[in-house]
């Protein structure tokens, strides 16, 4: 049995499409967009802690947004040329290599980093503190 077959047994088809195939959920449909409680956001595939609620902010883009990961080594970055224009930066879980979303810099948000980690809700679970 291949590793990808294992992921297909663990994840729903929608989760698999985003986490393992690099898809994107439809904006404004994710369950964590309006989440305001204190807690941690974990990778839905491997349960690694990725983001903390104190770095989440309202960017009004249709997906949960964070200005920084929990720690620098919790995510990894890949250049994404899939749209054929200026490269984007893909964000992946450093533990299991699942696609999470993208990070954008310099958009003018009043956050400590001026970064927007635009993360698919379907890629995460939430643990309230």
Q: Copy the structure tokens of residue 97.
A: 């290599």
As a whole number of angstroms, the distance between CA 43 and CA 35 comes to 16
- What's residue 1's pLDDT? 40
Q: Please name the helix (run of DSSP H) or strand (run of DSSP E) that holds residue 125, with its range, or none.
A: strand 124-128
User: Is residue 40 predicted with pLDDT exceeding 50?
Assistant: yes
Average pLDDT over residues 2-19: 88
CB 126 within 8 A of CB 35: yes
**What residues pair up with 76 in beta bridges, in sequence order?**
92
Domain extents in the chain? 3-128
Neighbouring residues of 26: CB distance < 8 A, sequence distance ≥ 6: none
The 49-52 sheet, strands edge to edge: 49-52, 39-43, 124-128
Instruction: Please say if 46 is a catalytic residue.
Output: no
Average pLDDT over residues 13-19: 96
126 vs 84, higher pLDDT: 126
Which is catalytic among the residues 43, 93, 118, 123? Answer: 118
Region 3-128: CATH code: 2.170.150.20
What is the per-residue pLDDT across 93-125, written as a single tens digit (0 to 9) for each?
Answer: 999 999 999 999 999 999 999 999 999 999 999
User: Is residue 49 predicted with pLDDT exceeding 50?
Assistant: yes
């Amino acid at each position: 049995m291949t590793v990808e077959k294992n992921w297909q047994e663990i994840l729903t088809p929608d989760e698999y499409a985003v986490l393992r195939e690099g898809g994107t959920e439809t904006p404004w449909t994710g369950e964590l967009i309006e989440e305001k409680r204190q807690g941690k956001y974990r990778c839905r595939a491997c349960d690694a802690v990725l983001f903390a609620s104190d770095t989440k902010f309202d960017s009004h883009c249709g997906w949960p947004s964070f200005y920084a990961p929990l720690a620098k080594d919790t995510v990894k970055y890949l250049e994404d040329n899939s749209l054929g224009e200026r490269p984007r930066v893909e964000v992946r879980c450093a533990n299991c290599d699942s696609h999470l979303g993208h990070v954008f810099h310099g958009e003018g948000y009043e956050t400590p980093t001026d970064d927007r980690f635009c993360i698919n809700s379907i890629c995460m679970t939430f643990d309230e503190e």
